[in-house]
Chains A and B, each alone.
Chain A
């Protein structure tokens, strides 16, 4: 330890120590000289002999310095300076290497961060890896997850003994009346056991218990704030406890603050309130249709598969015991299944993107490696001289290693900056795709693995070229004749097989990108079945005083009349929920059909339901195929009596005849003496659950009536520009009632496109990757051939001198390049035949072996290969045979 500190100190006072030492040695030499003088030598002889006997003081002092301090630190500093100079000397080389690696590192860091955050990372809670989401997969809906239900939660909670517990979260928006204007807050209604499940403690105050779920239990409404809100809005004031938040539906008392980690359940949580369940919502028939997420904690040591199996068995059992045959037949039809983990949509995209990113990285590394090999060839002379001057294999390795480390370091710096930008883009996409996903960041684990990986690249880059040169024995010999043999056959074979694999990987990526692009174009060209361009939707929050039947109607008529005065507004319609939304949040209800001969045996089914005002079909441009659209008699405060259904509903339930006039009811079968509803019309199908959905799930439209909703969606048909219309509409509504809130205004076209954001994002990224891969492998091929031409200058010169035509030289180089490209292409083609099947779930309306994509990919790859081979070939042709011979 002492020695360490002395050495460490030696780093800083080396000049003083040098002086001392010089004095000491001088003294020694003088004494020796004196002795020599005494022995009878002349003055000059005595001095020279003394010096000779002593040895070279400079070398000794150097030896001493090695002793004294961490020489390697000083040496490292010198080496880094030297390597820096040498890299600055080779500007083009350094730039290309750093740019290539930075691009690859940036891309991979970005994608891996996202993959890690969204898919791989356990939750930031104690034993977070045991915390897992429970969701229902419906194979009938192309594997989309659907919401959980309260009934399912109770069934699992009572019986699943492989789990520590279950908890429910229900997205909730609430308005707050603040100083005369209304603000919209996003939060969650959660079951009390969520906090236990997450294993979190309140920052201050307490969480609510089970009793808070029972309405009218004497306890007032309570709210738990997330830490960020407490810090920002309440300045971390402990007195915030006990204060009330004036939500529009009544005051909520703040009882506690939840730690930041709760944001893992969604980044836009501004409040957490108890999930109060009425007995009705806990019935089995509300198996679907409520926006509920369920989370569970596995017992220690229980695998995900075991948990999944138990839940699946439980689900079968309780459904058999408690649900009707109708519900079971419906569930069978949609192929419902319980799974643990995360909904697979994003996961699949990100795994695909990660594979793409790794491919890009491989290609990039191959390029860098080839560059290094050819640079090592060029540096061979320098290395040989250094070797001759006494630098052994170790010293040369250090030299190369420091150079490559420097390059990789720069690449990591630039790559990190790139990936920060990349994450911004990804986060933007994610916030559109699913606002509940927390923002992706680069965390320690990812950073660490990237650094480790970069270190590995640096090592390979440092050692491989040198190793090859050393092995070929070219460094040890100085004579220039050897240079023609160059880096050696092995290295050249390595280079060309690397280029072949590059082309292969690039081809796979291009195929993937082609397939995804074709799918995207196919999705975009789907006719939604309604006029999405000119219809703008906006959410209206109804002020409290209008939430009764009479005033609700007055309010709506008032809004409609006011808006008709806005210039450019052609028509107005109301929809209770969102007219277009993902299939997993679209309202579904049970359908009961009454047929005369077997009225009671008919099982219930499910259909999407949407409550629309009368103007809806007209303004959306959805044609009525049969019967009529809604009129005033179709709904009243007693219920719905006339339904409009879409084409797939009619074809599904009444394949043999007309649906119009048939009797049916929703949710519950009417009691014996009560009337059934009637289907009054059939309309054309429309893509209300997005362009990608081709499940043809039946849709039923109910007539908007004098209901008392807290909010509804306003549809405005206009030919004017979206934002300016919305501004006018907002102003107009404010004159009608200043407390009215209009939010989420956008055109239906935007809504449809936002639903594709996942596909659009993944397609764009893979397309970028394929582009990068194509360019990089083009550069790789070009680099290899250029180097080849340069090395074979003499041979080409000889050929030309003995009469080879320019054409034949051109052909020779082209053939060389294209044969490599074609080999890679064939390998890539074979690999694609196998690999593209993993893309199948992402494709739309094409097969994984789509001929157009394949032909296009082959064409692009050959084009790039041709350009990459032609440029060096042209250079070879332009060589003057005499010049190139003389160059030797």
Chain B
């Protein structure tokens, strides 16, 4: 059976999280929802893997977290981009886009 490849390429999760957070403060579940909605369910995110990634980014000072109360009335950890994180997002975005463009042009050339 041919597998439909939906899992994320390695290293792209961080970028997706940063991008999702660029619209403002949100907690973990919101982030996963947002990625799924924006990607129109094309990117299948293992929800659990979100949290280690969040904490990794926090350790790198790209995002910061604070405890708050969620809309459901429970205490939750809310994440937002730091200044460093914004710069990182910009850098990774540029890198990714140029990389993707390059890949695309190479692959298309091969087809023709």
**Least CB distance, B36 to chain A, in whole angstroms:** 10
Roughly how many angstroms separate A7 CA and B32 CA in the complex, as a whole number?
26
> Given A21-B55, A57-B48, A60-B51, A28–B60 Cβ distance below 8 Å?
no
CB closest chain-A residue, reference B70: A27
A417-465 contacts to B, CB under 8 A, are none
A2 x B61 contact (CB < 8 A): yes
Give the contacting residue for A3; candidates B27, B59, B74; CB below 8 A.
B59
B59 x A7 contact (CB < 8 A): yes
**Least CB distance, B51 to chain A, in whole angstroms:** 6
A63 x B59 contact (CB < 8 A): no
Roughly how many angstroms separate A68 CA and B52 CA in the complex, as a whole number?
8
A63 x B76 contact (CB < 8 A): no
A24 x B47 contact (CB < 8 A): no
Roughly how many angstroms separate A421 CA and B56 CA in the complex, as a whole number?
53
**Least CB distance, A380 to chain B, in whole angstroms:** 35
Is B77 an interface position by the 8 A CB rule?
A: yes
1/0 per residue, CB under 8 A from A, across B26-59: the answer is: 0111001000000000000011111110011001
> Given A30-B74, A68-B55, A24–B48 Cβ distance below 8 Å?
no
Is A6 an interface position by the 8 A CB rule?
A: yes
CB closest chain-A residue, reference B27: A27
Which of B49, B51, B72, B76 has the most chain A CB atoms closer than 10 A to its own CB? B51
Roughly how many angstroms separate A757 CA and B40 CA in the complex, as a whole number?
92
B56 x A67 contact (CB < 8 A): yes
CB closest chain-A residue, reference B71: A31
Contacts of B77 in A (CB 8 A): 20, 24
Is A54 an interface position by the 8 A CB rule?
A: yes
Give the contacting residue for A27; candidates B55, B59, B60, B74; CB below 8 A.
B74
> Given A7-B59, A30-B72, A31-B72, A55–B49 Cβ distance below 8 Å?
yes
User: Residues of B within 8 Å of A, CB-based: how many?
Assistant: 22
B74 x A24 contact (CB < 8 A): no
Contacts of A20 in B (CB 8 A): 77
Roughly how many angstroms separate A553 CA and B72 CA in the complex, as a whole number?
119
A67 x B52 contact (CB < 8 A): yes
Is A178 an interface position by the 8 A CB rule?
A: no
Is A577 an interface position by the 8 A CB rule?
A: no
Contacts of A24 in B (CB 8 A): 28, 51, 76-77
Roughly how many angstroms separate A28 CA and B30 CA in the complex, as a whole number?
9
A54 x B72 contact (CB < 8 A): no
Q: How many residue-residue contacts, CB under 8 A, span A and B?
A: 63
> Given A3-B59, A27-B70, A30-B74, A64–B47 Cβ distance below 8 Å?
no
Contacts of A64 in B (CB 8 A): 51-52, 55
Roughly how many angstroms separate A318 CA and B77 CA in the complex, as a whole number?
94
Contacts of B55 in A (CB 8 A): 21, 64, 67-68
Is A53 an interface position by the 8 A CB rule?
A: yes
Contacts of A30 in B (CB 8 A): 72, 74
Roughly how many angstroms separate A56 CA and B56 CA in the complex, as a whole number?
19
Give the contacting residue for B29; candidates A2, A27, A63, A68; CB below 8 A.
A27
Contacts of A2 in B (CB 8 A): 59, 61
Is A32 an interface position by the 8 A CB rule?
A: yes
Roughly how many angstroms separate A64 CA and B53 CA in the complex, as a whole number?
8
B45-102 contacts to A, CB under 8 A, are 46-52, 55-56, 59-61, 70, 72, 74-77
1/0 per residue, CB under 8 A from B, across A206-249: the answer is: 00000000000000000000000000000000000000000000
Which of A3, A6, A31 has the most chain B CB atoms closer than 10 A to its own CB? A31
Contacts of B29 in A (CB 8 A): 27-28, 31-32
B28 x A60 contact (CB < 8 A): no
Contacts of B59 in A (CB 8 A): 2-3, 6-7, 67-68
CB closest chain-A residue, reference B31: A28
Give the contacting residue for B49; candidates A21, A32, A60, A66; CB below 8 A.
A60
Roughly how many angstroms separate A6 CA and B76 CA in the complex, as a whole number?
22
Contacts of A21 in B (CB 8 A): 51, 55
A60 x B72 contact (CB < 8 A): no
CB closest chain-B residue, reference A58: B48
B52 x A63 contact (CB < 8 A): yes
Roughly how many angstroms separate A7 CA and B58 CA in the complex, as a whole number?
12
> Given A27-B28, A28-B47, A31-B72, A3–B52 Cβ distance below 8 Å?
no
CB closest chain-A residue, reference B77: A24
Which of B48, B70, B75, B76 has the most chain A CB atoms closer than 10 A to its own CB? B48
A60 x B48 contact (CB < 8 A): yes
Contacts of B52 in A (CB 8 A): 60, 63-64, 66-67
Contacts of A28 in B (CB 8 A): 28-29, 32, 47, 50-51
Q: List A residues at the B interface (Cβ < 8 Å).
A: 2-3, 6-7, 20-21, 23-25, 27-28, 30-32, 34, 53-57, 59-60, 63-64, 66-68
- The 7 residue pairs across chains A and B that have the minimum distance between CB atoms: A55-B48, A60-B48, A31-B29, A64-B52, A54-B47, A28-B29, A63-B52
Q: List 6 A-B contacts (CB under 8 A).
A: A2-B59, A25-B48, A27-B29, A32-B47, A60-B48, A64-B51
